[in-house]
Amino acid sequence: MSKKWDQNKFKFRIFVRDIAYPAAALVLVLCVVAVFFGTLSTFFVDNKDYRVPEPLFTPANQLHDQNLDICILGLGVLAMMFAGWYFGDGFYKRRKFEDLMDTDSKAQFIEDLDEIEELAYKISSYHEELVYEKKRELKIKRK
């Protein structure tokens, strides 16, 4: 493989890492909508006593007529669990990163530097820049 291919592959990895957290949030929202419509069409379409507003009833009725309601409900729940876990893990990493970065002590920062750099690499390139700025602020020469 050429060096140019390796550089493009590295840039693609950085791009995917930077959009993973917003993408997980978007998938989480879409899964909540899928679970809502799946639940609506599974349990309430045939029930004449329950009045579903017309804008919500039409897509739910179409899902029920095609027997996709249970599939949408099941897939929505599974995807919501995965996206929720990924979103929560990213939130936990960001909070831990902010806690570790919130120090004015050079000795404490150097002690936690390996963990800070690892978290920054896992979160986004913006956070890597924050680590670089903090190193420059505290005048740390370590690479």
Span 88-105, pLDDT tens digits? 888 899 999 999 999 888
Q: How many Å apart are CA 35 and CA 32, to the nearest integer?
A: 5
Residue with the two structure tokens 């039409």: 58
Question: Cβ-count burial of 24 within 10 angstroms (0-12 exposed, 13-18 middle, 19+ buried)?
Answer: buried
What would the DSSP string read from start to end of 22-39? HHHHHHHHHHHHHHHHHH
The model's pLDDT over 120-143, given as tens digits with 9 standing for 90+, comes to 988 888 888 999 999 888 888 766
pLDDT > 90 in the chain, percent: 17
Tokens of 21: 């957290």
Tokens of 121: 């690499």
The model's pLDDT over 104-119, given as tens digits with 9 standing for 90+, comes to 888 898 899 999 999 9
